[in-house]
Amino acid sequence: MTELKPSLLDFTKKELLDIIKPSFRVKQILGWLYHNYASEYDDMKNIPKSLKEELAKKYIVNPLKIIKKEVSSDGTVKYLFELQDGKTVEAVWLKMKDDVYDESGKLIHEAKYTICVSTQVGCKVGCAFCLTAKGGFTRDLSAGEIVGQVVALKRDNAHKHNRKINIVYMGMGEPLDNLNNLAKAIEIFKEEDGLSISGKRQTVSTSGLSNKIDQLGAMDLGVHIAISLHAVDDELRTELIPMNKAHNINSIIEAVKRFPIDTRKRVMFEYLVIKDKNDDLASAKKLVKLLHGIKAKVNLIYFNPYPGTTYNRPELKDMLNFQEYLVKHGLLCTIRDSKGIDISAACGQLKEKNKEIS
């Protein structure tokens, strides 16, 4: 088994201060890592050679490398990374809003981007609709491997370190199954000498580990939470997400009610719409009842078919009817644009495609 060498991205500033002396070098190194996106020690021009050689004995700079990417016509870019042990994970660069110019052609609002990152190699949850589940679970990602995805995508897209960006933990793996490394990555992202991405710009998406929703809430990291609900009764949800046997819908809803959120914000409930499974108005009615009393936003998501799946993409008219019912009954509801539909859009699809080629 390949021994994984820690990366400098694995450490908080406080931890680096214990490792690196004199202390002023820490701020310089953080600048190289997070402002200049250095991927090798040789990139750090004002760091003494002796210090770089000393650090290189124990730590690598970059824990992953891009081995493949696919670019969609809508600007979405899907990345496949190789880790030190040869395992692969995916991340996605999403353009959410275009640049806005005034009549004279002056830029008044920069384009807005979101990065979707993975937290595990594979996944334990085993959702029936998810391609990631096909390969089973291999291991957790370290904090540095989570952080490294964002650094790599910002570097590859020439995105300045101080430009605002959102992070969603919605890629491969169940984030709350890797809670300690997730929490550390969140803290690293928030640090002012690094990327300075506040908690309110980070969203943790979970398939519903109700006990760990409570644990995440107790950490008070200031992040948003999104619940992958996908069904309104336990029978269907257990078919789609077998873990529902241990963490049923009621336990998830109760955990959400305990989760600390900004009173100005809403809890996101993700609802993957699958043709003839959960796209009817009877399901919409149950969803309204289920979310009663929660300041919620429902995000309807088209199921993206992939080779071998038995599930199908819903019709536009059914999506619109579902949305209309929820809105009429007081729920904020959006339909997520299908980003990257012309590339390997489904989570885990680029990884599987790469396996077939190799």
Tell which residue, 146, 126, 158, has the closest CA to residue 10.
Answer: 146
Tell me the CA distances in angstroms from 126 to 9, 141, 232, one per residue in order: 29, 18, 19
Q: Is 333 annotated as a binding residue?
A: no
Q: Which of 70, 90, 270, 352 is catalytic?
A: 90
HSE-up (13 A, CA, CB side) for residue 55: 25
Q: Is 161 annotated as a binding residue?
A: no
Instruction: Name residue 251's amino acid.
Output: S
Is 90 one of the catalytic residues?
yes
Q: Is 338 annotated as a binding residue?
A: no
Beta bridge partners of 169: 117, 204
Instruction: Name residue 220's amino acid.
Output: D
Q: Is 130 annotated as a binding residue?
A: yes
Report the C-alpha gap between 241 and 99 in whole angstroms: 39
Buried-exposed string 14-36: b where 16+ CB fall within 10 A, e elsewhere: eebeeebeeeebbebbbbbbbee
Instruction: Name residue 224's amino acid.
Output: H
Q: Is 174 annotated as a binding residue?
A: yes
Q: Which of 70, 145, 333, 347 is catalytic?
A: 347
Q: Is 127 annotated as a binding residue?
A: yes
Residue 49 region by backbone torsions, left for phi larger than 0, else alpha for psi between -120 and 50, else beta:
alpha
Active site residues: 90, 347
Question: Which residues line the annotated binding site?
Answer: 123, 127, 130, 173-174, 205, 228-230, 304
Question: Which residues line the annotated binding site for [4Fe-4S] cluster?
Answer: 123, 127, 130
